[in-house]
Amino acid sequence: MYRICLATALLAGMTLSAAAEYSLTILHINDLHSRIEPINKYDSTCSAEDDAEGKCFGGFARVATAINARREALRAEGKNVLTLDAGDQFQGSLFYSTYKGAVAVEFMNVVGFDAMAVGNHEFDDGPEALATFLDKAEFPVISGNTNVSANNRLAERVPGYIILDVGGEKIGIVSVLATDTAETSSPGPSVTFEDEIAYLQRIVPEIEAAGVNKIIALTHVGLPADARIAAAVSGVDVIVGGHSHTLLSNTHDRALGPYPTMITNPDGVEVPIVQAYAYSKFLGEIEITFDDAGAVTAATGDTILIDASFEPDAAIAARVTELGAPIEELKQKVVAEAAELIDGQRESCRAVECAMGNLVADAMLDRVKDQGVTIAIQNGGGLRASIDAGEITMGEVLTVLPFQNTLSTFQLKGADIVAALENGVSQVEEGAGRFPQVAGLKYTWSRAGAPNESRIVEVLVAENDGFVPIDPAKVYSVVSNNYMRAGGDGYKIFANNAENAYDYGPGLEQVVADYLAGVLAESGPYKPYVDGRIAEK
């Protein structure tokens, strides 16, 4: 069993020896998700007006400034520096929808990253899109437990680890990716995944045999999995992670734990884990000090908020403006108005009924109600931002729903719907995107039940202006999105048991935009709400 040390002493870092033989500073980001332009406090694209007023964060031009400024300052002090990305540059804005990975790799080359982990969303457009990214990348992109040998475009192009010479010392960087990527993205049958811990337990001794006693795990598995890795694998000195969008910090109010968070490994050694939220909002900086034997004697640092105090890199900002010109008209098109903030935060939509989930599920159901569809199910992980009060632009809608999913309708027995909901609540503790936002039904669930077996306590379906218990044998008409219908996020029961499926409906972002426009025309600005359709017992 691993333990997380939250002692006050660790907030200032871990210091076991005053005799520092070698120090390495790691600058790191993760889960940028195509936030090429600055973002607002809700992680959505920032308006030009708010940006001018200093209310915005991140964007690649500011990320470049933050990295370059810290790297130059550290090197001026004679320090050793690595710049790492823990994955998920792909997916999340109109820049990705329009240019796929081309913009991300262009700017990463300019900044000069030393290595990048493959994230699950790097497979959103299949192996081909990742291969195109690799064609242009001037830095290594690594993922050890990802087997691409059967894919003609990726074979022998994604190493499991690299060994770099940094200040005269060999530094090993090894990477692993979440094994459920086949469910959360689209790697296809030619890409398979080995258990993360089994891979690392096998490969770390190989890296050590090459004369390396300083090993960084650059992971895209999420903080809970990082903790399990640290507790099970000997020889890893520090874990730089991504995937769970976790803010670890000693100074920021939203932090979910200290920076670094310490986990005890099988040898009784504490391993520092760091992660820096997502969406270009933070830069992580951790300094690791090693003794002659390669043991970590100190680990200190924190995340840095990339706010308006960082002047955007002028060349990148100009390039962003140039690339944004063709999509600006669509982005700026006003489609509706919100009476108040529509909450689409990750912490909400992956754990409880959220206002954005209700909006999207209601819009889906409204679109196909004339087809006799009575139930809508939308994965919370498909909702990627909130929308603030006031005018709603198409750009904002596309930031919330960036995946270019289409509506999918099908028929399913009541028992299978319950099983689907069981899948949906099976990984709430991990913040998994499969959490089901719904319309046309209500459900109650409990963490006390066994995942995928008995967490769903009650399911009621809309009938005759009220709600009645779901009939396990009855066939219901359901609307979801084509990603879930194909088995994404663990919804294999949709792929295997659905009848009369049609996966090529209108784009989900257009469905929501049309619904909001209809609400505005009929009754005024959209009023977000929750109504108890999802309850935890």
pLDDT at 17: 41
Measured CA distances, 459 to 422, 447, 454 (Å): 11, 16, 12
From CA 111, how far away is CA 98, in angstroms rounded? Answer: 22
Strands (E), 314-372: 334-338
- Amino acid at residue number 25: T
From CA 49, how far away is CA 52, in angstroms rounded? Answer: 5
Confidence category of residue 403, pLDDT binned at 50, 70, 90: confident
C-alpha count within 13 angstroms, C-beta hemisphere, residue 11: 9
Architecture per CATH, 4-316 = 4-Layer Sandwich (3.60)
Q: What tokens were used for 170?
A: 């060999």
Contact call for residues 14 and 75 (beta carbons, < 8 A): no
Residue 9: pLDDT above 50?
no
3-class DSSP assignment, residue 526: strand
Measured CA distances, 352 to 431, 531, 537 (Å): 11, 12, 12
pLDDT at 134: 98
Span 19-31, pLDDT tens digits: 448 999 999 999 9
| Exposed / middle / buried, residue 307 (Cβ in 10 Å: 0-12, 13-18, 19+) | middle
Our separate counts of H helices and E strands in the chain read 17, 27
Residue 454: Cβ within 10 Å count: 12
- Amino acid at residue number 503: D
Span 289-313, pLDDT tens digits: 999 999 999 999 999 999 999 999 9
Per DSSP, the residues of 100-128 read TTHHHHHHHHHHT-SEEEPPGGGGTTHHH
From CA 101, how far away is CA 117, in angstroms rounded? Answer: 14
Ranking 4-13, 254-263, 331-340 by mean pLDDT, the lowest is 4-13
pLDDT at 14: 43
Characterize the bridge pairing of strands 14-15 and 4-5. Answer: unpaired
Alpha-carbon dihedral sign for residues 360, 410, 370, 483: positive
Mention the CATH class of domain 334-536: alpha beta
What is the percent of the chain where pLDDT is above 90?
Answer: 85
From CA 253, how far away is CA 151, in angstroms rounded? Answer: 44
Bridge partners (DSSP) of residue 286 are 26, 301
Total residues belonging to the chain: 537
Average pLDDT estimate for 216-241:
98
Contact call for residues 70 and 276 (beta carbons, < 8 A): no
pLDDT at 11: 36
- Amino acid at residue number 121: H
pLDDT at 6: 36
Span 346-399, pLDDT tens digits: 999 999 999 999 999 999 999 999 899 999 999 999 999 999 999 999 999 999
Characterize the bridge pairing of strands 215-220 and 169-177. Answer: parallel
Q: Report how far apart the first and last C-alpha atoms of the chain are (Å, whole number).
A: 28
Confidence category of residue 13, pLDDT binned at 50, 70, 90: very low
Contact call for residues 123 and 101 (beta carbons, < 8 A): no
What is the average pLDDT value for the chain, to the nearest integer?
A: 93
From CA 144, how far away is CA 147, in angstroms rounded? Answer: 8
Span 439-454, pLDDT tens digits: 999 999 999 999 999 9
Residue 101: Cβ within 10 Å count: 25
Bridge partners (DSSP) of residue 85 are 29, 116
Show me where the domains of the chain are located. Answer: 4-316, 334-536
Measured CA distances, 28 to 183, 224, 275 (Å): 27, 19, 8
Bridge partners (DSSP) of residue 300 are 287
Per DSSP, the residues of 336-347 read EEESS-B---HH
366 membership: H or E segment, kind and range? helix 355-368
Smallest CA-to-CA distance from 382 within 359, 413, 415 is with: 359
Measured CA distances, 300 to 10, 37, 259, 287 (Å): 8, 30, 8, 5
Residue 3: pLDDT above 80?
no
Residue 12: Cβ within 10 Å count: 10
From CA 148, how far away is CA 501, in angstroms rounded? Answer: 31
Q: Which of 32-41, 203-212, 482-491, 504-513 has the highest mean pLDDT?
A: 203-212
Stated pTM of the model:
0.79
Residue 165: Cβ within 10 Å count: 8
3-class DSSP assignment, residue 365: helix
Measured CA distances, 18 to 13, 77, 260, 290, 291 (Å): 13, 19, 19, 11, 10
Contact call for residues 139 and 115 (beta carbons, < 8 A): yes
Q: What tokens were used for 199?
A: 């891979």
Smallest CA-to-CA distance from 403 within 376, 424, 427, 385 is with: 385
C-alpha count within 13 angstroms, C-beta hemisphere, residue 384: 28
Span 67-85, pLDDT tens digits: 999 999 999 999 999 999 9
For residue 326, cis peptide bond before it (omega within 30 degrees of 0): no
Span 264-293, pLDDT tens digits: 999 999 999 999 999 999 999 999 999 999
From CA 176, how far away is CA 222, in angstroms rounded? Answer: 11
